[in-house]
Structure 1
């Protein structure tokens, strides 16, 4: 299985367009070795020809242009994207669908709560019906595994994660199972398994069981500390209130990942405030000393 990190940043990317503080400012000034990043998304394939786009970020156009395997063959129109799968209905994971409107009908996989959000509170599917159209397939989180037409050689399983629906969701204050999922991807030939969960805010015993069965854990790296945005004067909510588990702390992501030392462990969905973006920061050293990697745009994993 081939895994391509198309974008590794959290919503807003890095640098964020309206921020000129902290690492954002250093990046503008050229005083850091941190590199710019687009909003998080990955693509997976068994043969490097047929790809599943997992989340469609607002940066999807640039991400496709930066990755030849997703572009049309010479003298033709088309794409290597065989289908799209949405982990949730958040703006930074779904609005890239609008960018794909010039192509053929979009095969899109999601849970029913995500479908409901994208036909009501944020009616992207309704808008796309006037362009390419959407061929929607429901993800059943109770299914042991499922296949996706257009992406041969891979099988998938979805697990429900604890998370709130977006502010525009009709059930914002009434969380539904399937609002946010983690995805297990298995190569049917090699047996290699990826667990992808950029919104993993509260891992429980069932998620730990999934992690033990996986070869690579590509998980939430949004914040380093619980009060990161507050401390930097760019927000008022702690990490937990935004559905994210910070890396630091006795019960943080690094402590949780320490339970799986034999797995490849990679952080993705990294906020522009997170000091691990700076390869020379002590926080980055803490992550790397724990045997955990920091994803970057263009990173490829082979399982």
Structure 2
């Protein structure tokens, strides 16, 4: 099983188009040792030709251009993207679906009922695409039944409901539904290796912690370093918790959670990194802390094979 990190940043990318925080200003000027990133998405394949796109970011066309495998050119119109799975209905995870409108067949789209409701109403990607390629909604049931995805033979996907809020445009924004946000346990049935993917984690519930303990590779929420990061920088009035993210540092933070899993069992990688997060500075003290704890920082183009 092959996994490609197409985008490793949180919403807005890095640098964010309108942000002049120390990180964004520094990467533009070349005064910080930091790498530009597009908005978070991964792709999964077993044969290297047919890929499941997990989350379709607004940067999808740039990501396709950076990864020739996603444009194999086997015929006049072609794509290596055989299907898409979306983990929530947030703008930075679904806007890229509109970029796939030129398909000559309906787009297979895996989503929970709650997410599909949002994509049929508050942010009506489904109805919009019905005027172009069309969409085949394939239901993620959340009933503990493993999900078999057509382009991934010998791969099992288990969806885990996570605590979160639906997007601001969702009809149930103020009444969260099971399935508004999910994590994925992705298992290669031949090797037995497992990947836990959760770019948005606001709370470590018991079923989430159990899944993390079983994984050989963890790709988890790396959005913010501290709970008050955005407030302290004067960029938002919302804390990490308000935004549905667990900060890395401090009591109960992601570093502490990952440390509790022990060493040597799994590879630990942070993804969905906000432009303000100091871990983006490659020679900074926060990055050194992560290294001391055996934690890596995802970057665009990072590859895994399990």
Give the match for residue 95 of structure 2: 95
Q: TM-score, normalised on structure 1? A: 0.98
Q: TM-score, normalised on structure 2? A: 0.97
Give the match for residue 244 of structure 1: 245
Give the match for residue 40 of structure 1: 40
Give the match for residue 222 of structure 2: 221
Alignment of 1:190-269 (within 5 A): 190-260=191-261, 261=263, 262-269=265-272
Give the match for residue 130 of structure 1: 131
- The Cα RMSD (Å) is 1.0
Give the match for residue 291 of structure 2: 288
CA shift at 1:6, angstroms? 0.2
CA shift at 1:150, angstroms? 2.4
Aligned equivalents of 1:242, 1:218: Cα separation in 2 = 19
Alignment of 1:155-166 (within 5 A): 155-166=156-167
CA shift at 1:233, angstroms? 1.4
Aligned equivalents of 2:12, 2:258: Cα separation in 1 = 26
Paired residues of 2:45 and 2:151 also in contact (CA < 8 A):
no
Paired residues of 1:3 and 1:301 also in contact (CA < 8 A):
yes
Aligned equivalents of 2:152, 2:128: Cα separation in 1 = 26
Aligned equivalents of 1:165, 1:188: Cα separation in 2 = 32
Give the match for residue 25 of structure 1: 25
Aligned equivalents of 2:48, 2:129: Cα separation in 1 = 28
Paired residues of 2:49 and 2:72 also in contact (CA < 8 A):
no
Aligned equivalents of 2:74, 2:31: Cα separation in 1 = 40
Aligned equivalents of 1:143, 1:20: Cα separation in 2 = 44
Aligned equivalents of 2:76, 2:259: Cα separation in 1 = 48
Runs of 4 or more, structure 1, over 6 Å off, are none
In the comparison of the two structures, how many residue pairs are matched?
Answer: 303
Aligned equivalents of 2:74, 2:44: Cα separation in 1 = 22
Q: Deviations over 1:201-222 (max 9, x none)?
A: 1011111111111111100000
Aligned equivalents of 2:207, 2:175: Cα separation in 1 = 22
Aligned equivalents of 2:46, 2:36: Cα separation in 1 = 28
Aligned equivalents of 1:171, 1:46: Cα separation in 2 = 36
Give the match for residue 277 of structure 2: 274
CA shift at 1:80, angstroms? 1.0
Q: Deviations over 1:53-90 (max 9, x none)?
A: 00000000110111111113266321111110000000
Alignment of 1:116-155 (within 5 A): 116-155=117-156
Q: Which runs of 5+ in 2 are unaligned?
A: none
Give the match for residue 65 of structure 1: 65
CA shift at 1:176, angstroms? 0.4
Q: Deviations over 1:184-235 (max 9, x none)?
A: 1111211111100001110111111111111111000000000111111111
Aligned equivalents of 1:50, 1:196: Cα separation in 2 = 20
